[in-house]
Each structure stands twice: as structure tokens, then as C-alpha cells.
Amino acid sequence: MTIKKIRFTLLDAVLVALILAAVAFIVRRVGVEMRYNWQWPVILQYLVRVDGAHWAAGTLMQGFLTTVKLSLWATVLAAFLGTLMGLFRVSHSLFYRLIAGSYVEIVRNLPPLVLVFIVYFFVGERIMALFGAEQLVRTAPPAVQEFLAFLFAPPARLSGFFAGLATLVLYEAAYITEIVRAGIQSIEKGQWEAAHTLGLSRRQQLRFVILPQALQRILPALAGQLISTIKDSAIVSVISIPELTFQGLELMSATYLTFEVWITVTALYFLLTFTCSLGIKQLETAGQR
């Protein structure tokens, strides 16, 4: 395996210098001309705080962890639903193609904000109340409640969390559906014919021949959709799910530390998305070996 050397050219140096100059100009304009009093040490207590003899997550870090939970569950469930709908899109059955096509067209042509309210007010609350799920969780043993809070959210916020999660899953899966469909249809016809010649059924053709090849082609697009899921999770703040954006809004309203809060929120989002990007690159490299 050859290791590519990273070259730092004169153009790179100029770009870095311009970026640093722009940052310095903005900081000076905010701090001097706007007479803004920077209070970065105050932000630390909203990231981590000391609770007795233990360290605990602060307001922003709690929102960050909620964003991680939402993004993780939404990615897993949306990948499953999107793959299923993608298979429906290339199915020989007209019924399956109509189901998948209608789902994609409806969801992709709805603003995500509208979808959030539809799921929250007309689906989430009704379904939770119909099955008595919220009451069941509230009366569950403390160990069960702690386990659910660790995986999802505290019992009092579980209904809203599931509504937000359902919104993200439906919205992101519609795009993953098209990614999977395009990946499968990009496989050459000869691959299908060769698999058919070997006596494989259509399901076996997809499982053993087509999907492994399609996965390599759609992995970059899926990586982009994963990062998009993380960023799109901010939309659920409108239904008071205490994820990172919601906690940033609440903290800014309480402390008026506008720049410190939003710079920190931006850094946390970047940390999460950049880490995912590096992980996907490693998977792509491993798949090419």
C-alpha cells in the first residue's frame, strides 16, 4: 500500500493566511467596534460541570449527546427503510414500485418543518396515547426508565423524541431510497445475466452479486446522507426536543452569550460531522483494498 504525501503549497499557505486574517478581523470587529465582552470561561460550565464528586454533562453537552442519539438511531433506521424502499423501486412488482415511488415523491416534496409537525401532532401523540406507551414507561421500574433514558430520552420527553426520530427516519430514508435505487441500476446488465445463468433466484442475485457491488458505489453518497442526517436533526428543535440547537437557543436566551454559544454549537456540530467523514473515508479505503 502506497502512502500519499501531503504537499503544502504556496497557495495553501495563502489560503490559511486569508482565513486567519478573516477570523482576526471578525473577532476584532465584534470585540472592539461592537464592544462585545467575550466570556469564554463561562461556556465551560455548560459543557462539563462538577456535580458533587462527579463530572456531569452541561447543558450544551447534554444537547450534543441527544443529537448523537437522534442521528445514530435515525441513520440505522433510515438505512433499513431506505434500503427496503430502494429494493421496492427496482422490483418487478408494480405494486411495490408504486408504494416506494409514492413514498419518495410525497416525502421529498414536503418541507421538513411541515413533516415534523405532521408527525408530532397527528401521529406521535396519537399513537403513544392509543397504546398507552407513555403511561407504561412512567410506571416502569427505575432501572427500565434509566435504560430507556440512556438509549433514547427521559420518560417525560420520550413521546417528543420518538416523534422527532420518526420524522428524521422518514425524511432521510426517502433520499437513501433513491441512492440505493441508483446504485442497483448502475450495475451492468451482464452481471444480472451471469447470476441468472448460474441458476440464482432474483433474491440470491441481489444478495450475493448485485448488492455487494452496488454498496461500493453508493457508499460515498450514503456518507453524505449520514452527515446530512446529523445537520437535519436540528429541525426537531421546533418541537422542544433538547438537542444541540434547542439547548443553544435556550442558553443564548438565558445568558445573552450569543457569539460564544453559537461558535461552540458550530464547533460541536463540526466535530461530529468531521469525525463521521473520517470514519467513512476509512471504510472506503478498506473496501478498495
Sign of CA dihedral 71, 77, 81, 82: positive
Q: What is the pLDDT of residue 125?
A: 67
Higher pLDDT residue, 102 or 201? 102
pLDDT higher than threshold 90 for residue 277? no
What gap in Å lies between CA 57 and CA 188, rounded to an integer?
A: 51
- Which residues have C-beta within 8 Å of that of residue 138, sequence separation ≥ 6? 155
Q: What is the pLDDT of residue 1?
A: 44
Distance (Å) of CA 13 to CA 19, 23, 24, 25, 58 = 10, 15, 16, 18, 38
Helix, coil or strand: residue 34:
coil
Q: Average of pLDDT values for 111-126?
A: 84
Higher pLDDT residue, 2 or 96? 96
Q: Average of pLDDT values for 1-10?
A: 61
What gap in Å lies between CA 150 and CA 69, rounded to an integer?
A: 9
Q: What is the pLDDT of residue 166?
A: 92
What gap in Å lies between CA 278 and CA 264, rounded to an integer?
A: 21
Domain boundaries, the chain: 68-241
Higher pLDDT residue, 73 or 135? 73
What gap in Å lies between CA 87 and CA 180, rounded to an integer?
A: 8
- What is the DSSP code (8-state) at residue 119? I
Q: Average of pLDDT values for 191-205?
A: 86
Question: Would you identify the CATH topology of the domain 68-241?
Answer: MetI-like fold (1.10.3720)
Beta-strand (E) ranges in the chain? 48-51, 54-57
Q: Average of pLDDT values for 224-230?
A: 89
Higher pLDDT residue, 7 or 242? 242
What gap in Å lies between CA 117 and CA 129, rounded to an integer?
A: 17
What does the block give as the cell for 22? Answer: 478573516
Please write the tens of the pLDDT for every residue from 21-71. Answer: 887 887 777 766 667 787 888 898 899 887 766 788 889 999 999 999 999
Indicate the angle between helix axes 59-89 and 211-232, nearest 10 degrees.
140
Helix (H) or strand (E) holding 71: helix 59-89
Q: What is the pLDDT of residue 287?
A: 61
What does the block give as the cell for 102? Answer: 409514492
Q: What is the pLDDT of residue 23?
A: 78
pLDDT higher than threshold 70 for residue 179? yes
Please write the tens of the pLDDT for every residue from 147-164. Answer: 888 888 888 888 889 889
What gap in Å lies between CA 117 and CA 122, rounded to an integer?
A: 8
What does the block give as the cell for 130? Answer: 392509543
